[in-house]
Amino acid sequence: MSDVEIWIVIVALAISTAITRSGFWLVGHKVTIPRRVQEMLRYAPSCALAAIIGPDLLLEPSTQAFTLLNAKVFAGIAAVGWYLWRRNMLETIVFGMLFFTALRLLHLF
Cα–Cα distance for residue pair 93/107, rounded to 1 Å = 21
The pTM assigned to this predicted structure is 0.58
pLDDT at residue 91 in the model: 93
Collect all residues with Cβ–Cβ distance below 8 Å to 24 and sequence separation of at least 6: 31
User: What type of residue sits at position 9?
Assistant: V
Beta carbons of 83 and 92 less than 8 angstroms apart? yes
pLDDT by residue for the chain (109 residues), tens digit each?
889 999 999 999 999 999 888 877 777 777 788 899 989 988 888 888 888 888 887 776 665 556 667 788 888 899 999 999 998 988 999 999 999 999 989 887 5
Buried b (16+ CB within 10 A) or exposed e, 1-13: eeeeeeeeeeeee
Of the candidates 106, 105, 82, 77, which has an alpha carbon nearest to the alpha carbon of residue 94?
82
